[in-house]
Amino acid sequence: MTLHSEQDYLNLIDRHFPSRLDTLDTVQLGRGDDCAILGINGFACVSSDLFLDGVHFRRSYFSPSDIGHKALAVNLSDIAAMGGVPRAFSLDLMVPEGLGFDFWGQFLTGMAKLAAAYEVVLVGGDLSRSPILGTSIHIWGEPGPSGRLLTRSAAQPGDLLVVAGHLGLARVGLHMLEVKGTAAIHDYPLSTNQHLRPRPRVAEGLILAANAEVHAMMDLSDGLARDLPRLLAASGNLGARLAITDGTLHDEVRRFSERQGVAPELTAMLGGEDYGLLAALSPEALRDAQRDIPRLEVIGVVTQEPGILLNDRPYANAGFDHFGE
């Protein structure tokens, strides 16, 4: 079946995202008008992300369902990084020639399943012909039961640095998918899945936001080497002393690093798109945090002195840059 018009796309979207406004009192007006109307008391957190073919994904190993899932997942991760509850999103589609009903049906199925799992509502958007395939998503969230939205700007010297999620997995998955295509899924199932279908850490974010001794938090989208300095700079030009050992890392990261002849902690530092949570909390808060999030790993401590030490050695690799060479 061929999609011939904008209305064909809108009808297909409506099929996958039926109106559920009666279940969400914050959405006063959903899709169909020039704007959605959100009735929110207090604070809301808002974010957006682009997701472009050849930049953020490749159709050679991303299925249409994978693309739909990840396009939304990276936005949900932004809300998780604030310790918020995602509520609603708008979807802009860039539509190239040659993609028909089957592709877009699978794409929307992947996105709709993730939206349903997190009870987030599609409230509108736009679409246009385009030379490339891509999406732009804007997402809104609210504070959870604690009433807190965490920022990355309040870490303190002496805070422990903890990570919810596995460092380096998505980097391994990306590398192996680039080399072997979908055949890599057999040898590195968790790594490839982390790259193709990351799980937003919304539940973990809410738990951390509820703990008053968690001072700062962000998600790891560009890798620890790039994101940790952002948190430290936002908190007042602080530093960090990191201890990342084999015991901190997943077996697939260790195995990949050994085969590449690279120290596994370097794979972990440079790994982007893990979409785990990096938080700074007081040592007194660690016991409760690890009780509620069993796989919360301590990776270091915040220091008054600027600069990063990795396993007692200075670390200065700036990591991934969207516009770097």
Dist CA 22 CA 19 (whole Å): 8
Percent of the chain at pLDDT exceeding 70:
92
Tokens at residue 287, please? 């016991």
The DSSP secondary-structure symbol of 198 reads -
Q: Name the phi and psi angles at 252, rounded to 5.
A: -65, -35
Query: Does 17 map to a domain?
Result: yes
CATH code for the domain of 125: 3.30.1330.10
Query: Does 228 map to a domain?
Result: yes
Query: Does 148 map to a domain?
Result: no
Same domain for 59 and 118: yes
Same domain for 215 and 121: no
Same domain for 167 and 306: yes
Spell out the alpha helix ranges (H) of 93-183. 101-117, 169-180
Residue after which a domain boundary falls, among 108, 143, 178: 143
Averaged pLDDT, 247-259: 95
Query: Does 170 map to a domain?
Result: yes
- Give the pLDDT confidence of 18-71 residue by residue, as tens digits: 766 555 677 767 676 565 666 777 778 889 999 999 999 999 999 999 999 999
Query: Does 294 map to a domain?
Result: yes
Picking from 310, 302, 315, the residue whose alpha carbon sits closest to that of residue 160 is 302
Same domain for 180 and 139: no
Dist CA 157 CA 153 (whole Å): 12
- Mean pLDDT over the full length of the chain: 91
Same domain for 235 and 303: yes
Same domain for 236 and 138: no
Same domain for 233 and 131: no
Supply the pLDDT for residue 36. Answer: 64
Q: Are 273 and 174 in contact (CB under 8 A)?
A: yes
Same domain for 91 and 196: no
Q: Which domain holds residue 264?
A: 160-315
Least confident span in 21-30, 79-88, 100-109, 191-200: 21-30
Same domain for 307 and 182: yes
Supply the pLDDT for residue 325. Answer: 47
Query: Does 54 map to a domain?
Result: yes
Same domain for 304 and 262: yes
Same domain for 166 and 132: no
User: What is the number of domains present in the chain?
Assistant: 2
Same domain for 308 and 165: yes
Query: Does 120 map to a domain?
Result: yes
pTM for the complete prediction? 0.90
- Give the pLDDT confidence of 275-284 residue by residue, as tens digits: 999 999 999 9
Residue after which a domain boundary falls, among 143, 168, 201: 143
- Give the pLDDT confidence of 152-202 residue by residue, as tens digits: 989 999 999 999 999 999 999 999 999 999 999 999 999 999 999 999 999
Query: Does 99 map to a domain?
Result: yes
Picking from 323, 84, 82, 83, the residue whose alpha carbon sits closest to that of residue 226 is 323
CATH code for the domain of 213: 3.90.650.10
